[in-house]
A and B are shown apart, each in its own frame.
Chain A
């Protein structure tokens, strides 16, 4: 087992920069998730670690070994592909054994390893079948099994769940996490789905346009986003952004609302000399509540706006209101009687709000 270190890594496809001067460390036995919208460079990053793409600049280490010029098969890694890439005319057993055979592993050992992996993945009864005869979830397990038998230092997984249906995806999520615990291996996992990132990762690496935006534990990233991109990308429903100006009284004033600030925010306003400036407020949907269910609301802690749509989820209701042309989402009490067409007065938990610079999109708090 080993940690993976990436130093000043850049990848260019002709003039297009896919990965831009990236520096990251994935610790030994860590489950790291590379997440970002499509085209952000996360898959390119993974493929460089696997050795499937050449490195333009920079260095990649697995353990202490510089692997830039090491052939893929000698990097001591295993990769799980989005479409599983199982050999079509091999049965499950042979698919899992193929790599070992190429490595001249003794037969009894291969047999032992394959059966062990099959047992872990609960596919022992499928060993004689061909990929064609398996369901998507079963193929996924075989692909994982093929990686496991190699007993690699690092597992690389490229959107392994995106070909599965929603229910199976949730199930496999937990299985992969369990697998990680059991194998005690380093895993680098690529996905565009922030839910997968949040639920599975020890460490999330969020990328955009080939640049790492933020690295951290899921809850850290959620609670303390570095910038508006991370704030908007992580969390579902996404964070709401509202434009506001900071008044002399240190309130946040928009067209139809004025919000009070906490001491923490005031200190930042003073330190950064923000009075009179325009900023962006970030409010997570769960920090907005139907004021009917909140008692003793101080002044200037609510926003009143027209309700566009309501989506009852059972455990809560998503209320979409129009604030100065921005559709703002609120997760309110399920017993709320707010309905589309009506007016809603929403309570804002000002302890939880974020403030971003309007131009740099960087976070103040």
Chain B
């Protein structure tokens, strides 16, 4: 009974298919195996290994991290953590430090990415012109990106030293530091870059801007080179100024390239651990002053300094959700400014 039914269905299906291809001779006469519908599933079979890999390396750790955030896993409960619901989250929100750190992280991210984009675009526009020695400039400007972050940050730490650092010496020898101080732009002189938490934070921002702009520059340069020159020529005939051309041609044409780069930049900067830890001189267990920390350094401190895996996981989940919320709204904003397709 069952098999007959199946046959009927299969023949029906084939007949429909055959009529579409205008070939009535192609009717399968009662083969039990439904070749065409099997064919329909076959592609998914090929995809299965990739699915498994993604589940293993992406979904599983994500889920595991989320599960950890609902447990009290820490040194003392390492082998037998207990499910404690959302207590970790409650504890985080009870602490005012979380909001302060979040605010600082937002400032950190916004400042960094803004400067990355502005400097990157400005330099890319310059490099996209006819310029003598362009190739050499380009190499010099890519160096910050090519250098390992760890080494770059260590070098900056050396340069920030209040007595021996290149920056301090430069500010001193040129007299700029004194001028800035008397002008009231800086409140301390010489600047205690590494020893004052607020200055450390500023130093970290400078370092990270230096580290990050070449990426944007390269992305933008690639984007600029893909804009046909005729757009600018048409604008020249219209009598547009340089700024009008930049605003009406360069920016909108760069948008599809810049948007994902900004997304990446935000995620990277939001989670930039190295620079702050290294500048604070607290790599390998130590921990600087709170006034220069961001969310991800707190995750690091809780997770790898105190081994509070559950609590640190809760922090990580929050970081994840914050970034997710940002990305969704950012992509919506970008799509909103584009034409309706």
Contact = CB atoms under 8 A, between A and B. Distances in A.
A50 B228 contact: no
B248 A81 contact: no
Contacts of B340: 133
A81 B238 contact: no
Contact of A82 (B230, B235, B244, B249): B230
B339 A72 contact: no
B128 interface: no
Interface string A69-82: 00111100111011
A178 interface: no
A79 to B, nearest CB: 5
Contact of B248 (A51, A52, A90, A146): A90
A99 B245 CA distance: 12
> Looking at chain B's contact residues, is the secondary structure mostly helix, strand, loop, or mixed?
helix
Contact of A81 (B234, B249, B339, B341): B234
A244 B253 CA distance: 59
Contacts of B285: none
A132 B341 contact: yes
A128 to B, nearest CB: 10
Contacts, number: 63
Interface string B58-97: 0000000000000000000000000000000000000000
A79 B237 contact: yes
A310 interface: no
Contact of A102 (B228, B233, B240): B240
Q: How large is the interface on A (under 10, 10 to 19, 20 to 34, 35 or more residues)?
A: 20 to 34
B231 to A, nearest CB: 5
Interface in B124-181: none
B238 A99 contact: yes
A21 interface: no
A79 B234 contact: yes
| Pairs A-B, 6 closest by C-beta atoms | A73-B239, A99-B238, A130-B339, A89-B252, A85-B234, A85-B230
Contacts of B239: 71-74, 99, 102-103
A83 interface: yes
A329 B225 CA distance: 45
B37 interface: no
A293 interface: no
Interface in A16-55: 50-52
A324 to B, nearest CB: 47
Contacts of B252: 87-89
A98 interface: yes
